[in-house]
Structure 1
Amino acid sequence: MFDYDLEHILSYTVTLDAPEVVGPVPGGVRANFYTTGGEVNGPKLQGKVRPVGGDWLTLRTDGVAILDVRATLEVGEGALVDVAFTGVGDLGVDGYERFLGGELPPTVALRVAPRFLTAHPDFVWLNRLQCLGIGEVDSENSRVGWDVYAVH
């Protein structure tokens, strides 16, 4: 077994617009959730999530959502940090049918693998990280919260 440590680097929340449902596609149903903004807080990063980006989600017929997320963080004195990740969310065995009927569960647990890119000299250390993220969707309030940990 390999030694590793997890370091909490940030938490963030975003608000989302109503989903743009593309509809049934090969492999599931496609829905795009666009970010309207948010906040970044953590021991190493504070700032905001800019109102760009979103989640280009594919919900499989087994109720598992495949996430494809992009966001821009603005931290420190205006440094821009690109964050991209993939991961999964489980809407339950009947999640696909319920989503097609316009229904989302009140909460959905999310597990992701974020990566960061920036050119700002104060934050280039982010470019070297592989992270794990644990999040949850609050469907009723159109919010998503994340805790992000660097794997060392």
Structure 2
Amino acid sequence: MFDYAMEHICSYSATLQSPFEGIGETPLGLRVNAYVSGGEVSGPRLRGRVLPVGGDWLTIRRDGMGMLDVRATMETHDGALIDVQYQGLMDLGADGYARMLAGDPPVRAAIRAVPRLVCAHPDYLWLNRLQCLNIGEVDFATATVAYDMYALR
């Protein structure tokens, strides 16, 4: 077994523009786009905000699992810009596909994702060397997402 550790980098939340953009049923699954309107970042290694750009290009499979494709930009408290990209899974429940298709999503859904961060600012070059893990959830009632981000060491 290999040794590893997880270090809490930050917690962050973002508000999503509502209503979401429904592309509809495709050969790949139900496509829904959710665009970021802003958010907050706080934690031991990163502080700042989520800028009002980017979003999640979500594909919902017939088994109720959502496949995330997220791109966002964070700005640290001292002005550094961080490109954030991640894929992951959102568990909408066994009936999640039908509920989303009917416009009746569950109130909340758990999310697990694997973000990569890219930054050019000299104080944050260490971010380029990380593989992270997000543990979070979406609240469909308030159109918000919240995550705890950990670096896998």
TM-score relative to the length of structure 2? 0.98
CA distance in 2: counterparts of 1:133 and 1:96, whole angstroms: 23
Unpaired runs of 5+ in structure 1? none
Q: Cα deviations across residues 17-74 of structure 1 (Å, max 9, x unaligned)?
A: 1210000011211000000000000101100000000000000011000000000000
In structure 2, the partner of 1:7 is: 7
Unpaired runs of 5+ in structure 2? none
TM-score relative to the length of structure 1? 0.99
CA distance in 2: counterparts of 1:6 and 1:77, whole angstroms: 25
Please tell me the residue identity of whatever aligns with 2:133. L
Aligned-residue identity in percent: 57
- 1:147 equivalent to 2:148? Answer yes
CA distance in 1: counterparts of 2:118 and 2:77, whole angstroms: 15
- Matches for 1:1-152 after TM superposition, within 5 Å: 1-17=1-17, 18-152=19-153
SS at match of 1:40: strand
CA distance in 2: counterparts of 1:39 and 1:76, whole angstroms: 10
SS at match of 1:36: strand
Aligned residues: 152
CA distance in 1: counterparts of 2:45 and 2:28, whole angstroms: 39
CA distance in 1: counterparts of 2:139 and 2:54, whole angstroms: 18
Q: CA deviation at 1:77?
A: 1.3
Please tell me the residue identity of whatever aligns with 2:140. S
Please tell me the residue identity of whatever aligns with 1:35. V
